[in-house]
Amino acid sequence: MTQDPNAEFDQSVLELIERSPTGVVPHTPSHQDSLRRLRAAHQVYPSADHENGFVTARSLAGRQTFQAANLDVLRSSADDDLEPNAAVFDRYVKSLPPAQQARAESFRAMVAGRPAHHRAKHGLPAVHDPVHSLFLLPGGGPHPGLPGDYLYGFVAQHGGPAPVSAAWSIHLHDRQDGEVLWEGSDIGEALDKLEELLACAPFDMAELEALGFRFT
């Protein structure tokens, strides 16, 4: 088998990124060619914390993932009294180094959104909003993710009078307009897919076609 003539140099670039405090790669033709190869192989992602920097996939391995602690209760119950998105986001922020926490907080409104309301009218039982439960995991996309190199997404239940193509979906975002979508027919299928997604992290969003996701 012919050895890849670029393997040794590409390995040195991975090590350079990991040693660098900013993950910036020199602008020499050879380094930039290596960076293109590494990005195509999904071994490096744009850094969320340093402009023009990169982070390696292997450096993100073992990072925590975050989702509603009691999300699995939906497999056996209609009860949607889930851990709030704000609490999931709190745990993510607290996991970051202190220097990144304030910047992460600036994304709270975009990511954690508004809390669900359980409305009761005229003495009737409360009406539960459809599930829209936050999760965060390490990885990269077309654009940088959240501080700490995290992507964020939602397990979403579709409700309302209008017909929909799927009862449940999973959306995954970087911090700009990169988004991939999976659609399924029931909560068990959606939770199984989320477990698969969390187990695969870290990854580049472009790799998720194999798991049934598509860019929107």
pLDDT in tens, 53-74: 999 999 999 899 999 999 888 8
pLDDT in tens, 148-195: 999 999 999 986 544 445 589 999 999 999 999 999 988 999 999 999
Cα 150 to Cα 75: distance, rounded to the nearest angstrom: 27
pTM for the model? 0.88
The stretch 98-122 carries a mean pLDDT of: 78
Given this model, what pLDDT does residue 117 score? 43
What is the pLDDT of the chain when averaged over all its residues? Answer: 89
Given this model, what pLDDT does residue 163 score? 44
Quick check: 139 and 203 in contact, CB under 8 A?
yes
Contacts of 66 (CB under 8 A, 6+ apart): 88, 89, 91, 92, 95, 134, 135, 136, 137
Collect contacts of 116-120 with beta carbons under 8 A, ≥24 apart. 116/80, 116/84
Given this model, what pLDDT does residue 81 score? 80
* Helix 98-105 × helix 85-95 angle, to 10°: 150
pLDDT in tens, 132-141: 999 999 999 9
> 3-class DSSP state for residue 93?
helix
Cα 199 to Cα 193: distance, rounded to the nearest angstrom: 10
Output 10 or 117, whichever has higher pLDDT: 10
Given this model, what pLDDT does residue 180 score? 97
Given this model, what pLDDT does residue 80 score? 56
Given this model, what pLDDT does residue 166 score? 59
Cα 28 to Cα 133: distance, rounded to the nearest angstrom: 44
Output 162 or 211, whichever has higher pLDDT: 211
Given this model, what pLDDT does residue 198 score? 97
Output 43 or 126, whichever has higher pLDDT: 43
Given this model, what pLDDT does residue 162 score? 43
CA proximity to 208, closest of 162, 155, 139, 158: 139
